[in-house]
C-alpha cells in the first residue's frame, strides 16, 4: 500500500512513497527545513493521491529552484507517464513529485542515518558514516520510487552495522562510580546489571541454554565482584555448611561468600532444583544479610555483596519440560524482589554464532531458529536452544550437509514423519 505526506498548508509533497517509513521521513524533513507539519497518509492508488492530495504551487516552486540549482532537466509528460508522478500537465506539473522525493526523501535518509549512529556525549564528534549521503548522490539519476528503495537499503545496512557493533552499557550503582561495559550481550543484560547494581536479589528464570550463568559471570566482571557459585543443595547443610565428626566446620559456597572481604556475587545455580528446606535456611542471609551458620556463628554480611539465582521455572514446581523441578517455599521466593524472564534472544544468538563460525554460523542460525519456530507451532516438546544452534554450526563448518547436521541433533528423537514435518521448507530432504 503506497503512502504520501500531507500538510494543510501546502497539500501533498507530490511524491508516492513505497513505505510509511519513507513518508514519515519526508514529513520530518519538511518540518525541519520548511516549518511545515505533515503526516504520512495511506492511499489506495495514484488516482486517490491526485484527487485528495495534489501538489501545491509552493512545492512546485521549490522543485524548480532545486532543479535550476542542480542542473536537473525538468520532467516531461512522457517521463511522467512512465513513473508514478502527479497528474500529467503542461511543463512543470510533474515537478513537485521530484521535489518531494529528492529534497525530502534524501534529507530523510540523512536524518535517519544521524539518528541511528551511536552517540557518546563525552566523545569527539564522530566522522560521517560511509553510507551517509548515498541516496542523495544517486537521486538525480533514478526515478522517485527507486529513491525510496535506496533509502531503505541504506538504512537497513546501517541497522546491520549497528546490530553487529559492540554494545556500550552505562549503569549507576549506589555509592560507586558509574559502570561502563563494552561487548555484545543478551537483550536483557542491561536490566540485569542495573538490578544487581542497585542491590536487588534477582531471580532469573529461562529455558536451558539461554545464557543465564554466563550473564551472571559478566555482571560480576562488570561490577568488579568476585563470583561465588553455590550448586544445587539437597539439604540445608549443603547450603550453610556443617560440623563434621571431627568437630571441624565444612564450609559451603554460601559461607565463603558471606565471609568474603571483597564485594562478591553469590550465584544460586538451578535454584528450582534445590530442596525447599535448603533454600529456607538461607532466608535470613538473603533478606537481612545476617549470616547464621552451624557452630553458633552469627555475623553481619557486607552490604556490598549481591545475589542472583537462576532457574528454568518460576519456582512453582515441575512442568512438562522440566520435570525435576521443585516447588519452592513462598517465603524463599519473596526474598527475591526482582524477577527477570531470561528467554532466548535470537538476534544475540545469530550474532554470537556468526562471530564464531562465519557464514556457516549464519546459515545455522537461520535454520535453527526456523526449527525452533516449527517446534513451537507444532507443539512438539523438544528443547531447542542456542546449544543446538552452536552444534549445528560446528557440523556445517566440519563439512556436514544441513540434512546430515540435523540428523544427529535433538531432532533424532522424533519419528521420521515428525522430523520431516519440522524440517519442511528448511532442508530438501530430512
Grid coordinates belonging to 28 = 520530518
d(CA 340, CA 318): 19
Report the sign of the C-alpha dihedral through residues 48, 52, 53, 57, in that order. positive
Grid coordinates belonging to 305 = 555483596
Do residues 282 and 241 lie in contact, with contact meaning Cβ atoms separated by under 8 Å?
no
- pLDDT given for residue 163 in this prediction: 47
- pLDDT given for residue 147 in this prediction: 46
Residues of the chain with pLDDT under 50: 75-86, 89, 91, 93-123, 143, 146-147, 150, 154, 157-158, 161-166, 429-430
Grid coordinates belonging to 392 = 549445528
DSSP 169: E
Grid coordinates belonging to 132 = 551517509
- pLDDT given for residue 131 in this prediction: 57
How long, in residues, is the chain?
430
- pLDDT given for residue 103 in this prediction: 45
Q: How far is CA 10 from CA 45, 61, 100, 161, 213, in A?
A: 21, 12, 12, 37, 58
Nearest to 13 by CA among 119, 71, 84: 84
d(CA 275, CA 233): 7
- pLDDT given for residue 40 in this prediction: 78
d(CA 108, CA 28): 7
Amino acid at each position: 500500500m503506497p503512502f504520501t505526506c500531507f500538510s494543510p498548508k501546502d497539500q501533498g509533497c507530490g511524491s508516492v512513497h513505497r513505505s510509511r517509513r519513507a513518508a514519515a521521513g519526508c514529513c520530518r524533513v519538511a518540518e525541519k527545513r520548511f516549518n511545515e507539519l505533515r503526516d504520512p497518509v495511506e492511499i489506495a492508488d495514484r488516482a486517490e493521491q491526485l484527487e485528495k492530495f495534489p501538489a501545491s504551487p509552493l512545492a512546485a516552486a521549490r522543485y524548480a529552484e532545486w532543479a535550476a540549482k542542480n542542473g536537473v532537466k525538468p520532467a516531461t509528460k512522457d517521463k511522467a507517464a512512465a513513473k508514478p508522478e502527479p497528474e500529467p500537465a503542461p511543463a512543470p506539473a510533474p515537478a513537485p513529485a521530484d521535489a518531494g522525493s529528492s529534497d525530502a526523501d534524501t534529507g530523510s535518509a540523512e536524518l535517519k542515518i544521524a539518528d541511528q549512529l551511536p552517540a557518546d556525549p563525552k566523545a569527539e564528534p564522530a566522522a560521517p558514516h560511509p553510507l551517509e549521503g548515498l541516496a542523495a548522490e544517486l537521486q538525480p539519476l533514478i526515478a522517485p520510487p527507486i529513491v525510496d528503495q535506496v533509502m531503505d537499503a541504506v538504512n537497513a545496512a546501517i541497522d546491520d552495522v549497528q546490530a553487529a557493533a559492540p554494545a556500550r552499557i552505562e549503569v549507576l550503582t549506589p555509592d560507586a562510580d558509574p559502570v561502563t561495559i563494552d561487548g555484545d550481550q543478551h537483550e536483557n543484560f542491561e536490566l540485569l546489571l542495573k538490578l544487581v547494581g542497585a542491590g536487588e536479589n534477582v531471580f532469573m528464570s529461562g529455558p536451558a541454554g539461554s545464557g543465564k550463568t554466563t550473564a551472571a559471570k559478566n555482571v560480576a566482571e562488570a561490577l568488579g565482584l568476585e563470583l561465588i557459585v553455590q550448586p544445587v543443595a539437597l539439604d540445608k547443610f549443603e547450603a550453610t555448611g556443617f560440623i563434621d565428626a571431627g568437630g571441624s566446620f565444612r564450609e559451603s559456597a554460601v559461607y565463603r561468600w558471606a565471609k568474603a572481604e571483597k564485594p562478591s556475587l553469590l550465584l544460586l545455580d538451578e535454584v528450582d532444583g534445590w530442596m525447599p528446606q535448603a533454600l529456607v535456611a538461607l532466608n535470613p542471609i538473603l533478606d537481612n544479610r545476617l549470616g547464621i551458620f552451624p557452630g553458633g556463628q552469627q555475623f553481619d554480611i557486607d552490604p556490598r555483596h549481591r545475589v542472583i539465582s537462576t532457574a528454568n521455572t518460576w519456582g512453582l514446581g515441575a512442568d512438562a519440560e522440566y520435570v525435576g523441578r521443585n516447588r519452592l517455599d513462598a517465603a524463599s521466593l519473596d526474598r527475591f524482589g526482582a524477577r527477570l524472564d531470561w528467554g532466548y534472544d535470537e538476534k544475540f544468538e545469530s550474532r554470537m554464532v556468526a562471530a564464531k563460525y562465519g557464514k556457516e554460523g549464519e546459515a545455522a542460525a537461520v535454520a535453527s531458529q526456523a526449527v525452533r519456530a516449527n517446534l513451537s507451532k507444532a507443539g512438539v516438546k523438544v528443547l531447542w536452544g542456542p546449544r543446538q544452534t552452536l552444534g549445528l554450526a560446528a557440523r556445517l563448518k566440519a563439512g556436514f550437509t544441513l540434512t546430515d547436521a540435523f540428523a544427529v541433533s535433538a531432532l533424532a528423537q522424533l519419528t521420521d514423519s515428525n522430523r520431516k514435518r519440522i524440517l519442511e521448507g528448511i532442508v530438501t530432504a530430512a
